[in-house]
Amino acid sequence: MHSKKINVFEEMTLKIENEFPQCSRIHVQWEFVLTDKKTGETKNTKKFQILAIQNEAEKYKHIGIIISELSNEYAQLPDLVEKFLLEIEKHAKTGIADASNSTKIRNVSGLEFTRNVYLYTDKLLVSEDVLQKHFKKHDLILQIRSTKHNLLN
């Protein structure tokens, strides 16, 4: 008998919903393109999601990152968090409209970013200490929510 493997994004999204039940979420799915250093050929791609976890009532937002396995690409994450924040602010200013009646759904601008970044992952291939220091250097507070601790120390 084969059991259906749960999609890591579905599993981690459920964890976020349970941890932040009062918050709405906006997410994008991006991917890292992993290339061979010698040939420059694409070896693999690694999909991940970045989410804004927003509490409209209390006027704050956190950022969540879902990635099944995190290795050296961790170095790019703080810049991608900033890029994502700029994107959602730009869209908030243009207004998110409901197609059925063209009224504004939510005003998500003006939510204070707490600087908390929640990392949801199945596997870490970098030490938590290295991750924490890297995010702190970018004035971000990393909260790791890893299901397995496969760390290389």
CA dihedral 30, 91, 117, 149 (to 10 degrees): -20
pLDDT at 100: 37
Q: How confident is the model at residue 9 (pLDDT cuts 50, 70, 90)?
A: confident
Report the chain's mean pLDDT, rounded to a whole number: 83
Flag whether pLDDT at 66 surpasses 70. Answer: yes
**Strand bridging mode 60-70 / 42-55:** antiparallel
Is the overall model pTM greater than 0.85, yes or no?
no
Burial class (CB in 10 A: 0-12, 13-18, 19+), 76: exposed
- Enumerate the H helices of 1-127 as residue ranges: 8-19, 77-94
Flag whether pLDDT at 107 surpasses 60. Answer: no
Domains in the chain: boundaries: 8-94+107-146
Flag whether pLDDT at 96 surpasses 70. Answer: no
Residues 70, 125 contacting (CB under 8 angstroms):
yes
